[in-house]
């Protein structure tokens, strides 16, 4: 596939989708290999595409587990391309890390989540899987790529020390993956109406 310098990234991706109606992770990687300067935008296109087709080619997997697996795939795609500018991730990580306390609460309110800074904070440190609706709204708010933002969350969780808790057998257990948005909301004591409203953020439109 070739592209004239005057064509924009959208046209590039349109041509790519014509050639690859059901792209898999390796297809996206090849596209990024060919156009590393557009890596984050291509990854965002893959993120959007996953809303109808799973990136590994399985149709209709819109479950939290499927979304988490997709985010891991995007991470591998981005990390496999050494040309992807690391300063972009560093800047995004610094911006996300600055959102704490009252700031997290204020942003949660702006995003329509409500005065639940702790819920948003769980997303920011990668402890809670961000629904696509929340991820895209937050990316727009922070003016950064949704794919880069998802990678910041993944790296944050991977590098964090996860507190252990005791199982029913009394043995300490360590969380090896983020909790779903639904589970995080259910764990909050906000009443049935607010619980139902917050759970809607994880519903695909």
**Nearest in space to 164 (alpha carbons), one of 147, 153, 176, 156:** 176
pLDDT at 128: 93
Q: Do the beta carbons of residue 107 and residue 141 sit within 8 Å? A: yes
Eight-state DSSP code of residue 177: S
Scanning the structure block, which residue is given the tokens 């519903």? 203
Least confident of 4-8, 71-75, 156-160, 196-200: 4-8
- What is the percent of the chain where pLDDT is above 70? 66
Task: Find the mean pLDDT for residues 69-93.
Answer: 60
Rg (CA), the chain: 18
Higher pLDDT, 87 or 51: 87
pLDDT tens digits, one per residue of 100-143: 889 999 999 999 999 999 999 999 999 999 998 999 899 889 88
pTM of the model: 0.60
In order, the DSSP letters of 74-131 are: HHHHHHH-TTS-HHHHHHHHHHHHT--THHHHHHHHHTTS-S-HHHHHHHHTTSBPPP
Q: Which is more confidently placed, 68 or 150? A: 150
Q: Answer for the pair 55, 28: CB distance below 8 angstroms, yes or no.
A: yes
According to the model, what pLDDT value does residue 123 have? 94
* Residue 173, pLDDT above cutoff 70: no
> Whole-angstrom Cα distance, residue 159 to residue 202?
25
Partners of residue 165 on adjacent β-strands:
173
For residue range 17-57, what is the model confidence (pLDDT) as tens digits? Answer: 778 777 777 787 788 778 877 777 777 677 655 543 443 44
Given a cut of 90, whether residue 195 has pLDDT beyond it is yes
């Amino acid at each position: 596939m070739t592209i004239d310098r005057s064509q924009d990234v959208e046209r590039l991706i349109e041509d790519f989708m014509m050639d690859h109606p059901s792209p898999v992770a390796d297809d996206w990687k090849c596209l990024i290999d060919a156009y590393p300067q557009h890596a984050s935008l291509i990854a965002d296109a893959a993120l959007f595409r996953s809303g109808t087709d799973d990136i590994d080619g399985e149709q209709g997997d819109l479950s939290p587990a499927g979304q988490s697996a997709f985010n891991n795939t995007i991470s591998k795609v981005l990390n496999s391309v050494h040309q992807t500018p690391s300063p972009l991730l560093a800047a995004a990580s610094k911006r996300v890390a600055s959102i704490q306390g009252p700031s997290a609460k204020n942003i949660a309110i702006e995003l329509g989540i409500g005065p639940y800074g702790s819920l948003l904070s769980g997303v920011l440190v990668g402890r809670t899987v961000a629904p696509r609706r929340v991820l895209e709204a937050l990316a727009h708010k922070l003016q950064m790529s949704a794919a880069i933002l998802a990678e910041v969350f993944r790296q944050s969780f991977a590098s964090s020390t996860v507190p252990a808790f005791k199982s029913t057998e009394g043995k300490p257990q360590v969380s090896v993956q983020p909790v779903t948005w639904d589970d995080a909301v259910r764990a909050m004591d906000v009443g049935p109406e607010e619980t139902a409203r917050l759970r809607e953020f994880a519903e695909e439109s």
